[in-house]
Structure 1
Amino acid sequence: MATVALTILKNHKKKDGTYNVKIRISHKGRSVFLRTYYFLSGNQLSSDRHITDASVYKHFEPRLRKYRAAIGQLSSTLDFYTVEDLKNALIDLDQDVDFIKFGKEYIENLLENGRKGSARTLKTVIFSLIDYFEREKVSALEITERKLMEYEKYLRKERVITRLNKEKLITRTVAGMQDGGIHNHMRDLRILFKAAMKHFNNPQLEDIKIPHCPFDNYKIIDSPVTKKRNLKIEQIKLISESKVEPNSTSELGRDLFLLSFYLCGMNAADIYHLKPENIVDGRVEYNRLKTQSRRKDRAFISIKIIDEALPILKKYIGKLSKRYTNSENLDRAINRGLKEISRNIEKLPEITFYWARHSFGNIARNKCRKSKDDVALALNHVDNYHKTVDIYLDKDWTIVDEVQEAVVSLL
C-alpha cells in the first residue's frame, strides 16, 4: 500500500541552517519526494532531525489527507502505478486551475455538440478576460468578488480590442456596455465559472481547487426590460409588398423574413441548413439547432409548407450554403437587407430577422387568441412545466398547422 508522510532529508541542509520540509511518497519499496515551500530551523527539529513543531503537521494535514483519499480511490489500479506515476498523479491534484484554458476547452466541447450560439457568447467572455488581465493565463482564484466589480467597471468603458479575423489582426474601438450587455456578459461568466467548479472540485477526494464562487456575493445587475420586437400584421404586409432589386441583400432579407414568418418563426441557422430531404409529404421537418443538444426530443418539429412559403423555399433551399460560408454570415446579410427595407418604408422601425419569430408568436397569442401552450408548440419551445405530462403524449402537428393558418390568414 502506498503511503505519504512529512520528512526531513538530513543531507539537505541549507547554508542558513534550515531544512526543507518534504512529502515522502512510498510505493512498492521505493520512495520519491515532493518539495514544499516550508523551511524549518533547528529549534523545530529534534536532534535526529524529526519535526517537533506541531503547527507544521497541522498546516500539512489537509494536503496529506487529500493525497491519502486519492490513493484510496486508486486502490483497484494502484498496482499498475510506479512510484513516479503516483507522484505525478498527486502533483496534478495541486495544480491551479487555468480558467482561460478551461474556458477554451469548454467552448470547443460546445462547438463539437453543435451549440454554436452558446460557444460564441462564451468566447466573447474569454477574450474580454484576456484583455482585462492582459495575459492568456488567469487563475480561477483570481476571479474574486472584488475583481468582478472592477471587471464590470472595465466593461462599461470604451476600450480598444484586437481580434483575429480571417488570419489578420484587426484593432478597433468598442463602446462600453450598458446594463443589458453587462447582465448577459456576467451571466455567461457565471455559467462558465460554475462549470469550472463542477469540473475541478472533487469532494470525495477532498480535492477542492476552486473553494469559493465569487457570484455568491457579487450581484449581477438585473436585465432591463427588453424592447418589444413585434410588428403589426399591417407592417408585415408592407414588407411582403416591398420592391427590391433582384439578387440584392434586400431581396434576401425580405424573402427569408417572410419565410420565417410563414414557417412559425424558423431561425436563420435552420433555414441555412435545410436540404431537400427535410421536405417530407408537404412539410418541413427538422431539428432546431439552437436547442437540439439540450432536449430529449432533439427539438424536432414538423411544419406544413403553405402556398405562400413554397416559392420562397424552392428559391433558396440547398443554395444558401453555397453563397455563405456559415449561418452567421447569412444572418448578417439578412439583417443588412432588412435595414435597407426599414429605411425605405416610413411606417417600419429598424428591424432584424428575429422580429419575424417574435411577431409570429405575438400575433398568434394576442390577435388569434391561441393558447400559450399551442404557441409554444408552434415556436418549438420546450415546455418545462408539463415535462411529465409530455411523456405520455404524442406531438400533434395539426395544432401547429392551426396556429400557422390563423396567423398567416391575417395577411
Structure 2
Amino acid sequence: MATVGIKIHKHHKKADGTYNVKIRVAHKGEKKYLDTPHFVVDKQLTAKCVLKDATLKQILNKTLDDYRVTISTLGPKLEFFNAETLRNHLRDKDEPMDFFKFCQNHIEELEKEKRSGSAGTLKTVLFSLKDYFNQNALSPLEINEWMLSSYEKYLRGKREIKRMNQGELRKRIVKGMTDGAVHNHFRDLRILFKAAMKHFNKPQIGQIRIPYCPFDNYKIVDTPETRKRNLDIERIKLIRDCNVEPGSRAEMARDLFMLSFYLCGTNAVDLYYLTSDNIKKGRIEYNRRKTKRRKDKAFISIKLVKEAKPLLEKYLGKLHTRYCRSHALDRAIKEGMDVVNKNAGLSGITYYWARHSFGNLARNKCRMSKDDVALALNHMDHGNKVTDIYIEKDWSIVDEVQANVVELLVDRNEPKTKRLINPIEQRRTMRLVSA
C-alpha cells in the first residue's frame, strides 16, 4: 500500500538555518521524497523535527489529500509503480508538457553519458525550433504534419538566427538547408519527439498525453546519394607534402588528416580524447566514441606505425588543452582544411575523407577483403553477429590492412624497404615456416 506524508530531514539544515519541507512517498518497502516550495525554521518544529506549524500543515494536507486521491484512482495499476516512479507520477501529473524543457533535459542526460556528438546535433534542432516558434515553451501537441511542412519551408529559406557567443547575443544570416541537411534535421527532431512520447506517455496505466507521432504520416525528404569521398594516393601525397604556416590551424589539419589516414581512419573526436594511457606496447588502443554503445564498446587496437609516431607525439594530450570541446576542434580542422585545399590545389576535401580514402584504397587498390577492411575501420558486422561470438578478433589482420595502405605512399622512384604485403601469401609462408 502506498502512503504519503510530511518529512523534514534534520541533517538537511541549510546555512541560513532553514529546512525544506518534503513529502515522503512510501511504496513497496521504499521511500522517495518530493521537494516542496516551503521552508521552516526550528521554532516551527518539535524536538523530533516534526512540523507543528498549524497553518503550513493545513496547506500541505491539501496536497497530501490530492496525492492520496491520485493513488486511489490508480487501483490495480498501482502495482506497475515502485516508489520512484510513483513519486515522479505525483510530481508531474499536473505539470504542463513543455517540449523545449524536455529536449533540454534529454540533451543534458546525453552529455552526462559523454555522448557529446548526439547531444550536439539535437541541440541544433532545439535552437532552430526556438527560432521558428519565437517562444520560451512549446507543447508537443503543437508539432503536427502542418507544422512540419511549414517548418521545412522555413529551414530551406534564408533566415536570421540569434545565438549567445562569449556572453553576447549575436545575430547572423544563414542560408537555406539542402535536402541532406533537412533529412538529418528532421531525423533528429523525430528522435526527440519519440523520446518525449516515451517520457510523457504511460500506457501501462492508460495515460497517453501525446496520442500520435506526426512523423508517421509525414514523409521526410530522402537523403541524396552520398558523394564519394575517396582520394587517390597522389592527392593524399599532395596533402601530406602541402606547405602551410607553422603553428597554424592548417598545419594541424594537415597533420591530423595524415595521422587519421595512417591510423586506419581514426576520427578526430578519438584523437581529441587520446592520452598516453591509450598507448600500449607500440599500439593505440581505444573505444571508438561514435559507436561505443556496442556490446564490444567499439574497442580497436591499431599499430603505431613509424609514419604516425612523430605526428602523434606532436599532438597527443595537447588537443584537449588547445580546445575546450571536440566540436571546437572539428571547426578548427574544417577551417584548416580550407587552407590546405587551397595550398595543395585541391577543392572540397574534409578531414573525414582520410577515413573514406583509407577504406577505399584498402579494398580497391590493395585488394583486401571487405571483412578485413571493416575490421580495420572498426565497423560492426550486422550479418555475422552469431559468428562473432565464436571468433576472437585478430588485430594482426588490421596490421596487414594498415601496412598495405601506408605502403602505397612510398614514392615509386624510391627503393621500397619491403614489397606490398599479400595477406594470403604471407599466411601461406608462415604455415610453411612453422611446418
Determine helix, strand or coil for the equivalent of 1:286: strand
Q: Using the alignment, how far apart are the partners of 1:404 and 1:396 within structure 2?
A: 13
Alpha carbons of 1:123 and 1:400: their partners in 2 closer, same or farther (altered >3 Å)?
Answer: same
C-alpha change, 1:324 and 1:32, in structure 2 (3 Å) is closer
Residues 101-140 of structure 1, C-alpha deviation per residue, up to 9 Å, x if partnerless?
A: 1111111111111111111110011111111111121111
**1:64-87: CA deviation from partner (whole Å, max 9, x where unpaired):** 9x9766343336999x9xxxxx99
- The equivalent of 2:176 in structure 1 is 176
Q: Which amino acid aligns with 1:213?
A: C
Counterpart of 2:141, as a letter, is L
CA contact (8 A) 2:80 2:204 kept: no
Counterpart of 1:130, as a letter, is: K
Selected match of 1:360 from 358, 361, 367? 358
The residue that corresponds to 1:125 in the other structure is 125
Sort the Cα spacing of 1:259 and 1:31 in 2 relative to 1 into closer, same or farther, 3 A: closer
The alpha-carbon deviation at position 246 of structure 1 amounts to 2.0
Aligned to 1:37: none
* Equivalent residues in 2 for 1:3-402, closer than 5 Å: 70-74=74-78, 92-93=92-93, 95-292=95-292, 294-346=293-345, 348-402=346-400
Partner Cα separation in structure 1 for residue 87 and residue 402 of structure 2: 64
Runs of 4+ in 1 over 4 A off after TM superposition: 30-34, 66-69, 75-78, 86-91
Q: Which moved more, 1:193-202 or 1:180-189?
A: 193-202
d(CA) in 1 for partners of 2:339, 2:157: 31
For 2:425, the equivalent position in structure 1 comes to none
Query: Which of structures 1 and 2 has the larger relative contact order (alpha carbons within 8 angstroms, sep 6+)?
Result: 1
Q: Distance in 1 between matches of 2:199 and 2:250?
A: 47
- How far has the Cα of 1:335 moved from its partner? 2.2
- More divergent stretch after superposition (260-269 vs 327-336): 327-336
CA 1:77–1:170 in structure 2 vs 1: closer, same or farther (change >3 Å)? Answer: closer
CA contact (8 A) 1:273 1:321 kept: yes
Alignment-mate amino acid for residue 359 of structure 2: G
- Distance in 2, matches of 1:135 and 1:178, equals 26
CA distance in 1, matches of 2:132, 2:334: 31
| Distance in 2 (alpha carbons) for counterparts of 1:316 and 1:117 | 22
Q: TM-score, normalised by structure 1?
A: 0.79
Q: CA deviation at 1:33?
A: 7.0
Quote how far apart the aligned CAs of 1:334 are: 2.1
Alpha-carbon distance, 1:318 to partner: 1.5
Provide the rounded CA distance (Å) in 2 between the counterparts of 1:31 and 1:356.
Answer: 62
For the residues of structure 1 that align with 2:290 and 2:132, how far apart are their CA atoms? Answer: 30
- Amino acid in structure 2 at the alignment position of 1:167: G
Is the contact made by 2:156 and 2:176 (CA closer than 8 Å) also made in structure 1?
yes
Counterpart code for 2:287: N
Residues in 1 aligned to 2:355 and 2:189: alpha-carbon distance in whole angstroms: 28
- Whether the 8 Å contact between 1:69 and 1:206 is mirrored in structure 2 is no
Relative distance call for 1:261 and 1:73 in structure 2 (3 A) is same
Distance in 2, Cα, partners of 1:253 & 1:342 = 10
Tell me the distance in 1 between the aligned counterparts of 2:170 and 2:205: 46
- Give the TM-score of the pair, scaled to structure 2: 0.74
In structure 2, the gaps of 5 or more residues are 3-60, 410-435
Q: Determine if contact 2:161/2:171 at 8 Å carries over to the other structure.
A: yes
Supply the distance in 1 between the matched residues of 2:335 and 2:383 (Cα, whole angstroms). Answer: 38
Greater Cα offset, 67-76 or 173-182: 67-76
CA 217–247 in structure 1, closer or farther in 2 if over 3 Å, else same: same
**Aligned residues between the structures:** 347
Per the alignment, do residues 235 and 87 of structure 1 end up closer, same or farther by CA in structure 2, a change over 3 Å counting? Answer: closer
CA drift at 1:202: 1.4
1:325–1:214 CA distance, 2 compared to 1 (3 A): same
CA contact (8 A) 1:278 1:286 kept: yes
Q: Say if 2:254 and 2:336, in contact at 8 Å, map to a contact too.
A: yes
CA distance in 2, matches of 1:228, 1:87: 52
Secondary structure of residue in 2 paired with 1:74: helix
1:154 Cα deviation after fit:
1.1
